[in-house]
Amino acid sequence: MDKIINEFNNYLINERNYSSFTVTNYDKDILSFNNYLKDKNINFLNIDKDIIRKYLVYLDILKMKNSSISRHISSLRTFYNFLKERNYIKSNAFLLIKSPKKEKKLPTFIYYNELEELFNSFNISNILDIRNKLIFELLYATGVRVSELVNIKLEDINKSEMTIKVLGKGNKERICFYGEYALDALNLYLNESRPKLLRNKTSDYLLINHIGGKLTDRGVRDIVKRVIKLTSIKSNVSPHTLRHTFATHLLNEGADLKTVQELLGHVSLSTTSIYTHVSNERLREVYLKSHPRKSEK
């Protein structure tokens, strides 16, 4: 099992371009399923639809949310697809299993006034703050995933056109755009911060950690948590929250859904459509506060 898991992890990282964070979640889901099978004396290479359905009932008994169960199914479907491709099994029983309906949960985002406070909280005489401000500027300006952000190389950046080439899920390339604020933060970082962080080392990657190596996605998550704690923002903010904020603000300012889909790198428009609900909630909030005949009282 361990040998196959290592092969699978290498496949996810090298062929599917998944982040280490995503790979870890896949491993947890696979381990959970394998532990269940061990208790039933079932070999993980010899399962069928009925076994999977019993496992899903088991997850439901554990009060697991539908969204988490769906993630389990997705992880295991990918894993068993891999096993079939490598001839460990003859067929993938998970292809016969439908995911449960997910609970509708609107993505969280940061309001304009909170963003102002956030971007004004950095001390630009500090080399780490200079880098951290660039992280926030790029996450908000481009809407990139954290795994895409940490893999940006210097050669991917076109400062004259203010674009960045990123490699998304499934090794799909796309071009992201950024504005003057992000450009200023980028120039300050490249001139004042990055050379000092490198400590006489060399790196192709844009973002460097405090010991001169490549910054990881986990490192970015930790930075975001630390920075948010220094502000008055009470909501739980992650790098993905900045991606949600990017999409929500674009729609609030009149961007069409298809454009936002392209900028986010979503394969399906239905994935992007969740942001219309966020935007509509914002419109409703403004309407209820502003319209003189919103109620009879």
At 159 the three-state DSSP class reads coil
Distances (CA, A) of 114 to 52, 68, 121, 220, 238: 45, 30, 11, 20, 14
Kindly name the residue from 72, 133, 145, 244 that is annotated as catalytic.
145
- Residue 169 designated active-site: yes
How far is C-alpha 257 from the geometric centre of its chain's CA atoms? Answer: 19
Give Dmax over CA atoms of the chain in angstroms. Answer: 70
- Residue 65 designated active-site: no
Kindly name the residue from 214, 218, 240, 282 that is annotated as catalytic.
240
- Residue 266 designated active-site: yes
Of 212, 202, 216, 239, residue with least CA distance to 151: 216
Of 247, 235, 226, residue with least CA distance to 122: 226
Kindly name the residue from 84, 169, 174, 214 that is annotated as catalytic.
169
Kindly name the residue from 131, 133, 243, 244 that is annotated as catalytic.
243
Given CA atoms 22, 25, 29, 34 in this order, what sign does their dihedral have? positive
- Residue 249 designated active-site: no
- Residue 244 designated active-site: no
Kindly name the residue from 26, 80, 178, 275 that is annotated as catalytic.
275
Kindly name the residue from 16, 77, 266, 282 that is annotated as catalytic.
266
Active-site annotation, residues: 145, 169, 240, 243, 266, 275
